[in-house]
Amino acid sequence: MAKQMLNKGLLKYISNTSWLMAEKIYRLGFGLLITVWMARYLGPEQFGTFSFSLSFVTLFSVLVSLGLENLVVREILNRPKEEASILASALLMRLLGGVFLFGFSALFITQIRPNEPSILVLVMIFSFGFFFKSFEVLRYWFEAHVKAKYSAALEAVAITASVIVKASLILMEAPLTYFAWTIAVETIVMASGLLILYRRQGNAIKNLKPKLDKMRDLLVEAWPLILAGTLYTIYSKIDQIMLGKMVGSEAVGVYAAAVKFSEGWFFIPAVIATSLFPLMLNARKKNKEIYLERTQHLLNLMVVIGVLAALGISGIAHPLIMLAFGSAYEDAALILIVHIWGGVFLAMSGISYRYFIAEGLQKYSFYRGLTGVVVNVLLNIWLIPLYGAMGAAIATVVSQFMALYLFNATNRKTRGMFNMQTRALFLIGVPRTIKHIMLLTRNK
């Protein structure tokens, strides 16, 4: 009986993961196709301007997310009777953050790229769209209750509408700002859809009443994650910002084309980590040994996925870029071959990040984020003048290696994660993980 209940519960998580995976594959396929078409239509310079502006606003996106993603899921699981106030408190915090994002992005872009009104307009449009991302906090309710199929279906509708609109704009030869508005409208559609879905699950919107003490508690726990998220966003996007400042928009366009393919598969580890996080938390409550074993299995799986993706994409990088973007983006092929290998460490970080939250080690997420930013910025200053976009790719991969892996060896509390990551990187225990997955599949 116990085994049947375990398998039934596991099947629920597998089904949840499948829905998330299907939505991400759908988004990746259609999103990548329309991005390629956009890049060809706009050309490296305009596509670079678009990518630079979006990356710039993303630097401030932590003001909207506030590092609350996994904290809210954890709090809902631990305090189910308070879930309405938890969601409402998180939502209000994110809405306030969205207001600050709008102001800060406008202020700083005029300092970094003065006398460039086209970039200012794009930044304002993207900032407006990011404000409505605040409502994505409702998605965490679906994650906590393992009901991802609803939010996944909504995502599919939003991306479909976005692709249709962008395709129409290309055919009409619309100006650049129109494409920026499609991203803003997509976030508004998602916000509205999440509110409707949340209500249809039997939840009353009127019960979403924020509490100051709950906001304070969330903020106290989230501040290391806010700082870590800020630093992570900086070191993941600073390459395009520094390229735009030191070289120009065309270099950003070529680099962004490579990154689009390099990061295209990241949804796989992200979906697995997001969907199985509640499973990790539940295991930790019942049996620490099982919890650590599952964490190791997940790390092993992440490395296998990362290495296979890196090898596969590296092998076809040149024809892939030429076929997708054309000869104007030819230099992106070598950049892609280098940049893709950082994905191995990013894949593992989805598990280690959640491990830190489960263990109450959020502050170490900040410290490793700081490590990544410092290393990335210093390497960009050195390598971009020498190698341009390729220098930015090298800087990104090295900073990911140092921040997301080596950093964990520096402290006694994080060394356990470093040891698990090392076993995963050297493929120790991978056969056992494969056997474990096969047994689960056979017994389901």
Q: What is the pLDDT of residues 250-293, one digit of tens each?
A: 888 888 888 877 876 776 777 777 666 666 666 777 777 878 88
Identify which has the larger pLDDT, 40 or 146.
40
Q: Are 339 and 259 in contact (CB under 8 A)?
A: yes
- Residue 10 DSSP label: H
* Mean pLDDT (the chain, rounded): 80
Q: What is the pLDDT of residues 76-93, one digit of tens each?
A: 777 777 777 877 888 888
- Residue 80 DSSP label: G
Q: What is the pLDDT of residues 99-128, one digit of tens each?
A: 888 888 888 888 877 778 888 899 899 988
pLDDT score, position 394: 94
The stretch 173-199 carries a mean pLDDT of 85
User: Structure tokens of 326?
Assistant: 């054309």
The stretch 299-322 carries a mean pLDDT of 89
Q: Compute how many other C-beta atoms are within 10 angstroms of the C-beta atom of residue 266.
A: 18
pLDDT score, position 391: 92
Name which of 130, 272, 145 is nearest 187 in CA terms.
130
pLDDT of 3 strictly over 50: no
Q: What is the pLDDT of residues 131-158, one digit of tens each?
A: 888 887 777 767 666 566 666 777 778 7
Count: domains in the chain? 1
How many alpha carbons lie under 13 Å from residue 387 in its C-beta half-sphere? 18
pLDDT score, position 145: 67
The stretch 406-419 carries a mean pLDDT of 91
pLDDT score, position 148: 62
What residues make up the domain containing 235? 2-443
Give the Cα separation of 427 and 433 in Å (integer).
10
Give the Cα separation of 84 and 13 in Å (integer).
23
Q: Is the pTM of this model over 0.85?
A: no
pLDDT score, position 363: 78
Reduce the DSSP state of residue 367 to 3 states and report it: helix
pLDDT score, position 438: 66
Identify which has the larger pLDDT, 422 or 11.
422
pLDDT score, position 307: 92
Residue with tokens 């209500």: 199
Give the Cα separation of 357 and 70 in Å (integer).
8
How large a percentage of the chain has pLDDT more than 70? 82
Reduce the DSSP state of residue 324 to 3 states and report it: helix
How large a percentage of the chain has pLDDT more than 90? 12
